[in-house]
């Protein structure tokens, strides 16, 4: 083993010692999914599968795009799809990216002009951090998670300013599952920029796409706030059973990203079969086929929250399909996750330092394909775990009065 290999192995050994080493796992095909982001269950939907196969059969080309979008990778099929996505979400334009990470990075790395200010929720996704890191912004300022009073404090500190000010948030947060107080954030901004002079909101709808709003249009559309948001991001790899993302905004924003967004300019564009899968997902959204799934998903979310009783620990204050049981320490959440895994449920422990110490949790995602009987069985197994562990004194009492949000 060479010197570099030894250094890499040593770093991995240290990560192993503190129980932070990551590894790839394959879930049992016979287990019940309470972990993935397949919120509508479309990844295993037979009707969508057939629609997708029919679409592929109808296309002249179904393989690679053969190049970046600015060279040979563009097509009328992609342009038509973007226009359809924009119409569906009530936006002026849409611009496709290969992934949500690329879209956020491409947007946040290029949009702030020299010296501009980016204010971001402390739980914002890593892709936003990556974009901000290489941007020309003069200041990057976090505010407390979904805390409009703290956002107001930050704005008071920086105003007045002639710089562009960007506020970036998610509509549904991936680890805590809570929904952003978007109306209140907009009201705060209007105090400082009543005519939208230089305050701009960027919203990531990754975990809301398909789940919230009419036919799954997202939280922004559900609240009728499309005209208040400068840029929106929707991803297709969660509820829509595909991959890729789109940035929604003005014609000027789209043209600017085409000219300056490096992930778009220097990446081979997604293949035709990928574009077809996105189109088919929007087919089922637009025609209303997912409405009953949406209703069922929100119903079983309430069923889960009403049924579960925790003698210790805390249930995350989330009304979204992203739920979580917070315990004090890595050992208890690993014990609960392992217990549920052995019972045939796929759930994952989220340990510190991914989340603050004392706020470790088992993340539970509910899906359109989960049945009410499966919800009852999951809840019963959680109750069984606590009855068993109470006797063995494995789970310590949760003592914190304040629930800190997860930090990724």
pLDDT digits (tens, 9 = 90+) for 38-88: 999 999 999 999 999 999 999 988 888 899 999 999 999 999 999 999 999
Catalytic residue status for 238: yes
207 assigned to active site: yes
98, 109, 152, 174: which one is catalytic?
174
Angle at 387 (CA atoms; ends 386, 390), nearest 5 degrees: 75
Instruction: Give the single-character DSSP code of 396.
Output: P
The reported pTM is: 0.90
How do strand 93-97 and strand 139-143 relate by DSSP bridges? Answer: unpaired
Q: What is the pLDDT of residues 113-159, one digit of tens each?
A: 999 999 999 999 999 999 999 999 999 999 999 999 999 999 999 99
The question of whether 383 is a catalytic residue gets the answer: no
Q: Are 106 and 130 in contact (CB under 8 A)?
A: no
Q: Tokens 């035709």 — which residue?
A: 272
State the Cα–Cα distance between residues 147 and 132, nearest whole angstrom.
21
Candidates 89, 234, 238, 369; catalytic one: 238
Q: Which helix (H) or strand (E) holds 362?
A: strand 360-365
Please, which pLDDT band fits residue 388 given cuts at 50, 70 and 90? low
Clarify whether 234 is annotated catalytic: no
Using the Cα atoms of residue 253, residue 155, residue 104 and residue 346 in order, give the sign of their dihedral. Answer: negative
Decide if 369 is catalytic.
Answer: no
164 is catalytic: no
Please report the beta strands in 11-148, taking only residues with DSSP state E, as ranges in sequence order.
Answer: 32-33, 93-97, 117-121, 139-143
174 is annotated as an active-site residue: yes
DSSP label at residue 287:
T
Q: Give the torsion sign (CA, 99, 100, 103, 106).
A: negative
């Amino acid at each position: 083993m060479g010197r570099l290999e030894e250094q890499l192995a040593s770093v991995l050994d240290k990560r192993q010692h503190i129980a932070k080493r990551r590894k790839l796992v394959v879930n049992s095909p016979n287990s019940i999914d309470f972990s993935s982001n397949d919120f509508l269950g479309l990844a295993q939907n037979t009707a969508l599968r057939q629609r997708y196969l029919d679409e592929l059969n109808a296309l002249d080309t179904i393989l690679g795009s053969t190049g970046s979008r600015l060279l040979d990778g563009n097509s009328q099929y992609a342009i038509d799809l973007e226009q359809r996505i924009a119409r569906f979400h009530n936006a002026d334009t849409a611009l496709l990216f290969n992934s949500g990470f690329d879209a956020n990075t491409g947007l946040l790395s290029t949009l702030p002009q020299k010296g501009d200010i980016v204010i971001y929720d402390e739980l914002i996704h890593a892709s936003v951090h990556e974009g901000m890191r290489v941007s020309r912004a003069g200041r990057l300022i976090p505010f407390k998670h979904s805390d409009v009073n703290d956002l107001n404090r930050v704005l008071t500190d920086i105003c007045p300013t002639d710089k562009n000010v960007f506020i970036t948030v998610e509509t549904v947060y991936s680890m805590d599952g809570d929904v952003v107080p978007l109306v209140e954030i907009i009201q705060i901004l209007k105090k400082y920029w009543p005519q939208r002079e230089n305050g701009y909101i960027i919203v990531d709808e990754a975990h809301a796409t398909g789940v919230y709003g009419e036919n799954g249009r997202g939280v922004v559309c559900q609240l009728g706030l499309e005209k208040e948001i400068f840029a929106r991001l929707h991803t297709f790899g969660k509820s829509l059973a595909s991959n890729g993302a789109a940035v929604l905004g003005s014609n000027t924003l789209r043209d600017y990203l085409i000219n300056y967004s490096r992930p778009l300019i220097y990446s081979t564009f997604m293949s035709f079969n990928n574009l077809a899968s996105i189109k088919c997902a929007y087919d089922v959204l637009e025609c209303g086929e997912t409405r009953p799934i949406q209703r069922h998903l929100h119903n079983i979310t309430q069923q889960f929250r009403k049924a579960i009783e925790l003698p210790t620990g805390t249930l995350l204050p989330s009304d979204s399909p992203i739920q979580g049981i917070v315990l004090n320490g890595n050992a208890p959440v690993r014990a609960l996750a392992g217990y549920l895994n052995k019972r045939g449920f796929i759930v994952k422990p989220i340990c510190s330092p991914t989340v603050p110490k004392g706020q470790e949790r088992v993340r539970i995602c509910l899906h359109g394909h989960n049945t009410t009987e499966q919800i009852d069985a999951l809840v019963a197994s959680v109750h069984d775990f606590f009855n068993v562990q109470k006797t063995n004194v494995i789970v310590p009492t949760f003592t914190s009065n304040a629930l800190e949000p997860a930090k990724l």
